[in-house]
Structure 1
Amino acid sequence: MIYAYDKVYLRIAQRSLGEMLSYAVYDLGYELEDYYKRFLQSEYSMRFSKGDLFVITGMSGAELAIRVLDIPDDDIIMPSYNTAKSQEYWTGWILAYYQWENGKTFEMIDKEIPICKIRNMYNPYHEMDISSAILKLREMSQVSRAETYLKKLRKRAGISQSILAEETGIPVKTIQQYEQRRKDINKAQVEYVVRLSKALCCEPQDILEEK
């Protein structure tokens, strides 16, 4: 198995990601999903995924959140010291281990398992051995990959295929074919992909399938 980086840095990475999420939520007042989206859109998400030691070990989790959000020095809030017991800390802690183990980027993981679903695992998995949580994440990933990203994003948005067809002007049959992989979404007209992404409030690349 090829890991994202050397295991000697794993515990530091887990602590850093846990502190980052907890600081963003409890000290900065962000909703977890809103902050995590900012993290995914930043350069630090990919650098962390690839094992950039400056990002993983060169700063604290709070410092990482500050860099992600580009907070001016005068507006920096000192982190609290009880974050290690929060659901968000555990979410980052288990997510860092899962990312290290499978080598996927955080963006790829988020397509399969949204951050809120990982947080919802806190009870009962935070009281179990880490292997139980990782096994559950693998199972969730396998189930998720059975669906196309288009279908997952549509379901997450809470709209039907017919409503999506009305909002985009794309025939409902075509949407069905993309969701069932009878047509390759990666070969769709650029205009179609842009329309779908706007209707689903995501980036165009979020709809495309991994190869």
Structure 2
Amino acid sequence: MIHAYDDNMRPKAQATLGYAMDFAVNEAGYLPQDFMALFIESGLARRFESGESAVIMGMSGNELALRVFEETVGLQRPLAMRPRERGSKAYWIGWALAYFQWETGLTFRAILTAVPMEVIEDLYGAYHEMNVEQFVDRMVQLYRQAMPDTNLKRLRKLSGLTQEQLAQLSGISVRTIQQYEQRRKDVNKASLETAVAIATVLHCSPSDLLERIAS
């Protein structure tokens, strides 16, 4: 997996989102799912996912949360900028989510579409004292249960094409398309020529075909 930003930036990214979540929940009074919805709506989530230094390294968690509010709902009341709690449940949720996003390359929107925030909150009791990789393993299971289709299959269905039609239009054999959709062949290892041919028919980017979570 190629990560959007270096491993040496990851701890700061986790802390930033952890403190932002703690601020949003315990100071501003938001539910975790509502804050994440605003985070995504603000556009800051995309900048965070891409590893933009100004967001990950240049802001504290408090500052990130305030920027989210400024870009979406505005400031509803004066908020204290006191130090946040690293050990809070809200902190752990943001901290763990940031790690999972970095590890998989999925967007926050994709993660929360598959695994709702309420489910992630329920993982706190069992996983907050474990190694974060165990949280990742469980999240992968939940994501796969919610999103069993490959990106190729999902995009083909959205285009209204059968496997045979996609094969005819792309010049890629039906057998190859079937193997990619059934994960008997790894679409991540497809040649650029193959990926471009399929993506052109499906009106998407070749990168949209990639599987971010290994089977």
Q: By the TM > 0.5 criterion, same fold?
A: yes
Short-chain TM bin: 0.5 to 0.7
- Give the whole-Å Cα distance in 2 for the aligned partners of 1:11 and 1:5: 11
Counterpart check, 1:127 vs 2:133: no
Gap regions ≥5 residues in structure 2: 161-207, 210-215
Correspondence list, 1:47-66, <5 A: 47-66=47-66
- Give the whole-Å Cα distance in 2 for the aligned partners of 1:9 and 1:48: 11
Counterpart check, 1:36 vs 2:36: yes
- Give the whole-Å Cα distance in 1 for the aligned partners of 2:136 and 2:99: 8
More helix by share: 1
Deviations 1:69-119 (A, max 9, x none): 107789541234352121111011111111111111111111111222112
Gap regions ≥5 residues in structure 1: 149-180, 188-209
Letter in 1 for 2:96: I
Based on CA coordinates, which of the two structures has the bigger radius of gyration?
A: 2
SS where residue 184 of structure 1 aligns? helix
Q: What TM-score do you get using the length of structure 2 for normalisation?
A: 0.66
Q: 1:184 aligns with which of 157, 173, 177?
A: 157
SS where residue 30 of structure 2 aligns? coil
Counterpart check, 1:114 vs 2:116: yes
Q: 2:148 aligns with which of 140, 146, 149?
A: 146
1:146 to partner: Cα distance:
2.0
Deviations 1:1-27 (A, max 9, x none): 211210110000000000111100110
- Give the whole-Å Cα distance in 2 for the aligned partners of 1:75 and 1:56: 26
Counterpart check, 1:9 vs 2:9: yes
Bigger mean CA deviation after superposition, 77-86 or 117-126: 77-86
Deviations 1:160-210 (A, max 9, x none): xxxxxxxxxxxxxxxxxxxxx7x93455xxxxxxxxxxxxxxxxxxxxxx7
Letter in 2 for 1:78: A
- Matched residues, number: 158
Counterpart check, 1:20 vs 2:20: yes
- Give the whole-Å Cα distance in 2 for the aligned partners of 1:74 and 1:119: 25
8 Å contact 2:10–2:102 — kept in the other structure?
Answer: yes
Q: What TM-score do you get using the length of structure 1 for normalisation?
A: 0.67
Percent same amino acid at aligned positions?
35
Letter in 1 for 2:61: G
- CA shift in 2, pair 1:28/1:6, >3 Å: same
- Give the whole-Å Cα distance in 2 for the aligned partners of 1:73 and 1:130: 33
The equivalent of 2:198 in structure 1 is none
Letter in 2 for 1:21: M
- CA shift in 2, pair 1:19/1:104, >3 Å: same
